[in-house]
Amino acid sequence: MLQLTIRVPDEYLDGIEKIAATTGLKKSDITRLAIKKYIEEYTAQKEINNYGRAKDLIGVVASGVSDLGENHRDYLIQKIRGRK
């Protein structure tokens, strides 16, 4: 595990120390858990944002071919061969 040194405002340290006193965890454990939670929430939010950007495009195009999703490869091969 790598070591990371950070500077925090006094009120953050006071909060970390209060949590440490009530839970019995070390300050470093509390800080690690907080960073882990932030990364998980950030990652989840990023996935939601990517979906949000594309959701209006999903299922919008109508090809008229009912099985295009299942047989797209076959249709593509037919198109390529038809052009030769």
More confident residue, 64 or 9: 9
Instruction: Record the pTM.
Output: 0.54
3-state secondary structure of 55: coil
> What is d(CA 81, CA 84) in angstroms, rounded to the nearest whole number?
5
Helix (H) or strand (E) holding 49: helix 27-54
pLDDT in tens, 7-35: 999 999 999 999 999 999 999 999 999 99
| Mean pLDDT score across all residues of the chain | 87
Torsion region of 3: left, alpha or beta (phi above 0 gives left; psi -120 to 50 gives alpha): beta
More confident residue, 39 or 84: 39
Residues 6+ apart with CB under 8 A from 27: 16, 17, 20
